[in-house]
Structure 1
């Protein structure tokens, strides 16, 4: 199997970075994989110490086939760092696997990702592979869905060429084709609002633009039905993450098949996502979370 290079994007969280690397090294395919680490530059003197600590950690890492370290001389921000990093590597290697510095991987993460990237490399309807899954969803081990998640993902050069960084153009096309409701899982999750906020500069999400780019090109994602990713970043330490218990999940420590039937969206899985979003993002669900956060203070 021709293994995909792994891209790790880091900033100023040495403890998270160390945990992410340690978990990744526990993957059987780690020693056969090339790792590219993109270390973003610090924004200010307050971040400088931790950025330098992260760089000390990544320069000491061993256990991969080869490690390439790219240190930004100034602060790119997460979106620019990811967009430019993915483009740089995928142009040379044709495919890649991406992680951020707060993602603990199952020992079978690289196996699932590489098998899917190899198996569906020439399947034009598929543009994305994703290894994270919400908890307590009734899903098969692997399924296809018209949605691109960003917590442990991979893609190919042939799909990445559809990435459009222009949020306004993406929104215009969604509205023109009357697709905003479907993009929002029948109104159950505000992805369109997230895109509008990116346009307004309230967020700088690369992920919402990637999601919309694939959606508008009618491309599917191969998704794990049991999570091979544990997100440890929702502790308030991240650049964009905040704190959200709804993203806590159990890490699956087993092999997941990448065998699919027909290449079409699993509508039962889409309905399950919709039920989950309605349960977790309704007005009263948000009120309950705010009360719970207040009581913890």
Structure 2
């Protein structure tokens, strides 16, 4: 029986970035036979209105896919709720999905890598999802095209709808886990010292996100995420237009040329400690402290420049 799969795109007001994203996506030959759905969030205020409308005008011109489905929000959901609602639509109507956000540039084998991976790991219930992104790593003595890791990565990924049934989104339940589950923050921080801080910022309303909730699910259920050895996606979202990214662009990584169309997927129980350490390095305490210091300097410099102009 044919499984229903779709590409889901989440966007807001960055029309130029979305154009670059879709242009790169259309270099994947599979797109002409696939449906795509856009989850376009509503504008927060009048300042964002032109960008949102420009983004939707561009979506209305997009061709090259089998069908283009549009979810234009009539109000501002914010990043987290927009994604949660979109994910519910995907899970209710499709067996599998591939996710793209508007600040991503993908390789010409992005779709092929994820679709083949969905087929390979479909019956491996400990595998939560696949990502097409990886930080620069050394894999000179490794014979596979994938790595098994334990941290969710939102920079271009794919999953199966039946894996998301028990994800906890409710803030009260998440706060209860922090308050009453022994070692909860410790377990979360095992895959990066930013995660415990991120879930607290989410629950306090300082940020509106969705990926940390998925990491909670991965962490608490001892699940796995499949990474590539060479990234099929690059993030172009580190600038003032972005909602949850700012400052030092630590996500730069070599992008796959897109020529390779066949991949060697490793078993889901293959754990290589050296590769685990390499993937985790950008989220180690030292790396995070350095990044925080540099980001504070950037913010201060921008404030000074703005004050001078005024």
Q: What's the TM-score, normalizing by structure 2?
A: 0.86
Residue 257 of structure 2 corresponds to residue 253 of structure 1 = yes
Instruction: Give the alignment of 1:33-48 within 5 angstroms.
Output: 33-48=34-49
Task: Map 1:279-294; keep pairs closer than 5 Å.
Answer: 281-288=287-294, 290-291=296-297
Answering whether residue 245 of structure 2 is matched by residue 241 of structure 1, we say yes
Query: 1:119-142: CA deviations, max 9, x gaps?
Result: 21221111111111112x224531
- Structure 1 residue runs without a partner (length 5+): none
Match of 2:196 among 188, 192, 207: 192
Given that 2:148 and 2:268 are in contact with CA atoms closer than 8 Å, whether structure 1 keeps it comes out as: no
Within-5 A mapping of 1:89-128: 89-128=90-129
Q: Where does residue 308 of structure 2 map in the other structure?
A: none
- 1:215 matched to 2:219: yes
Cα offset, 1:32, TM superposition: 1.4
CA distance in 1, matches of 2:263, 2:172: 38
Contact kept? 2:21, 2:105, Cα under 8 Å: yes
Write the mapping of 1:1-297 to structure 2, written as runs, cut at 5 A: 2=3, 4-135=5-136, 137-139=137-139, 141-170=145-174, 172-173=176-177, 176-185=181-190, 188-254=192-258, 255=260, 257-278=263-284, 281-288=287-294, 290-291=296-297
* Alpha-carbon distance between aligned partners in 1 of 2:288 and 2:80, rounded to the nearest angstrom: 28
CA–CA distance in 2 between the matches of 1:278 and 1:90?
33
1:246 is paired with a residue whose SS is coil
Post-superposition shift, 1:25?
Answer: 0.4
Q: Secondary structure at the match of 2:135?
A: coil
Count matched residues.
295
Aligned alpha-carbon RMSD (Å): 2.4
After TM superposition, the score normalised by the length of structure 1 is 0.90
Mapped to 1, the partners of 2:16 and 2:290 lie a distance apart of: 35
Check the 8 A contact 1:133/1:249 in 2, yes or no: yes
Deviations along 1:189-242, whole A, 9 cap, x unmatched? 220111111111111221101111122111111111211111111122112222
Mapped to 2, the partners of 1:6 and 1:143 lie a distance apart of 23
Query: Which has the larger displacement, 198-207 or 279-288?
Result: 279-288
The change in CA–CA distance for 1:294 and 1:47 in structure 2 (over 3 A counts) is closer
- 1:292, distance to aligned residue in structure 2 (A): 6.7
Residues 87, 169 of structure 1: alpha-carbon distance in 2 compared, 3 angstrom cutoff = same
